[in-house]
Structure 1
């Protein structure tokens, strides 16, 4: 059973100062998880995590992760500027974008970021935009087809379709890109790839690593370039449902180490650094969306209306995603009531839960919606004139800090021309 990292009493005190809905993050949990990840890959001296800023673009979070040794994975001008303002620059930024405007290449180069090229045509585009090719460069690989692990030891299948993804280069294109970039002045090369999303398997990263390690060895032999790093990107998931097994990052790191020693070391590439770009794994379990029950409706189904909506967490509406819900103060009560938990948008998909068995919910009850720490607040929007909620940080000493204030009506009106 999923347990909130705050108590009902804490939340009532917090809500008295910061009205619901709000997102709250657990500093202690974030730091402990970052340290577990670092320990899992400590066998690789050059290892670095580049946190996916898109998951939780909040300066207080980025600064915590910086203190834990993480860099930033950025995909836009604004994310680059946010990283810079947090004191994260140079090779602590990985700039992975697609359909990239020239000005964003120029900013990434100015900050000294490692630029990850998504397409062969961007080789010339980068040189034209910046004036030269950086000495350290990365290219994104897409193997095409279907990626599958089949039946894993965890008892389920991992499958995704890279062939339908808009990202990355083909096998022949990445070889051509390396040759051209080398001729244009690049001296250190990296390979990046992402094959599956939110995998719940300790075997995904090692399987991806074997693909990329073999590719690196082959490309070195074909092109003669020096491949200094391999970026495994993201894809390590979290168990949104209570019955799902959690990934064991120590087991994952050991699986990658085994592949490294079997493929890269014999190829004379035992100095290759490994990078990761985890967002969901790093933050999702350590963020709650806290909302209050404000309405109940009894028609063909039983509805509980809350003061949050899909503008605060759009994954359930957009993907039909499951997010666990705890009714605070009723953690041990029987789940003997079936509800749809809904927001107030003029859209029928504005539902946090459908036919969910929960304890009896009374008006005024606080609900914690779990695993909202990544791709939660960051995907918020203003449909129906809804205002984006505050973000709070539960510090390790138990204090609570406002790290993003709630939007006001004046914020909503500010860009408008009347």
Structure 2
């Protein structure tokens, strides 16, 4: 179900005061829900020694939230230099960080290997030559191609830009061995927002089979497999929650069988983002206009710049109107922002109760890839972020952007070139 009942029960009585104090629009995250999900994930895989979750910073790059997950023993999966900076600002170092980038420059690799380094997860065999120095530990992102299917968000593995192909994977590790690399891992990421737990078990099995073969061929004893993220959340009311317990039991059995066959076993790493924070965030916005032409439109003070997923992926995000959760359905409406794009819609032909100007709309499941995917087209400014603490206090954890922020890059020293 979208937005947990516990989050809703604790947020609802506070919401009018939060709106009066901070103003809309804003994303607000649930500390209790995030911590509980972290605990659930750690408990599910406790039978696999050395299990570690590397929180995908791209999902919610806010240092206050990152500090919460680090308290639970999580590392960080980073894909850019600013994400590395954020991870290090909350205290992560060395192998607490996995740098999984693609189309990577030498400068980015230098940044990743600075300040104690990080686990380098190379997306292509050609990147070996771009490394400024030989790391002690190296990992390759594996793309199995036509032997597996992906999904709509990441795409068919054959068409996806990510990873080392099945025909290249052995050669990649051979090259690393020749460079003098001593320690190894392997990674893959084939699907996003996947609700079928069996798919994730199959992904672990695929990597275990791959490392078993590479061990036989090259003598490499892999330290870990990283099955990526991709654990889904039920955005629609009728969708079933991801069965984490079944996934954990299946992968644990696979690890036990591997150890029985080989006498050794790698650690299990994951890099979930959406599963950790997605259901524990909502976008709160106020109704400011109504328009009735060929359709009925409810205009709010947030725009697609605060939540891109509906416009980019045609994604469903559940919506409720504060104080009218059990009210009669008035009819179908489009819930829209002010952007000069027709896909600036949070809901299309959605059955909702009648709204009045000033009503508070709560858009569910924005705790991942919500604020993080924000943008400034049309001069739109990204909203603030808040954190609902376990004691029901509310903290501002990122201020809203201002016009000064938008114009800051126009303040520069003149520079030109003449032929």
TM-score range, shorter chain: over 0.9
8 A contact 1:214–1:264 mirrored in 2: no
Partner of residue 256, structure 1: 251
8 A contact 1:217–1:264 mirrored in 2: no
Partner of residue 30, structure 1: 34
**Using the alignment, how far apart are the partners of 2:220 and 2:113 within structure 1?**
21
Residue 9 in 1 paired to residue 13 in 2? yes
Partner of residue 64, structure 1: 68
Superposition map of 1:16-415 within 5 A: 16-110=20-114, 111-126=116-131, 130-131=132-133, 133-145=134-146, 147-148=148-149, 160-270=155-265, 272-415=266-409
8 A contact 2:282–2:363 mirrored in 1: yes
Structure 1 residue 261: deviation in Å?
2.0
**Using the alignment, how far apart are the partners of 1:336 and 1:38 within structure 2?**
44
Structure 1 residue 148: deviation in Å?
4.3
8 A contact 1:53–1:74 mirrored in 2: yes
Q: Structure 1: where are the runs of 5+ without partners?
A: 151-156
Structure 1 residue 226: deviation in Å?
1.9
Structure 1 residue 288: deviation in Å?
0.4
**Aligned with 1:269: secondary structure?**
coil
Post-superposition CA distance 1:332-354 (Å, at most 9, x none): 11334211000011111100000
Q: How many residues align structurally?
A: 407
Normalised by the length of structure 2, the TM-score is 0.94
8 A contact 1:39–1:250 mirrored in 2: no
8 A contact 1:148–1:159 mirrored in 2: no
8 A contact 2:145–2:166 mirrored in 1: no
**Aligned with 1:341: secondary structure?**
strand
Partner of residue 154, structure 1: none
**Using the alignment, how far apart are the partners of 1:368 and 1:13 within structure 2?**
15
**Aligned with 1:391: secondary structure?**
strand
8 A contact 2:307–2:366 mirrored in 1: yes
Structure 1 residue 112: deviation in Å?
2.0
Post-superposition CA distance 1:113-147 (Å, at most 9, x none): 00001111111111xxx23x211110110011263
RMSD, aligned CA? 1.8
**Higher alpha-carbon deviation: 398-407 or 102-111:** 102-111
8 A contact 2:154–2:160 mirrored in 1: no
Q: Structure 2: where are the runs of 5+ without partners?
A: 413-419
**Aligned with 1:162: secondary structure?**
coil
Structure 1 residue 318: deviation in Å?
0.9
Structure 1 residue 265: deviation in Å?
3.5
**Aligned with 2:95: secondary structure?**
helix
Structure 1 residue 394: deviation in Å?
0.3
**CA gap 1:89/1:371 in 2 versus in 1, 3 angstroms:** same
**CA gap 1:267/1:335 in 2 versus in 1, 3 angstroms:** farther
Structure 1 residue 218: deviation in Å?
0.5
**Aligned with 1:43: secondary structure?**
coil
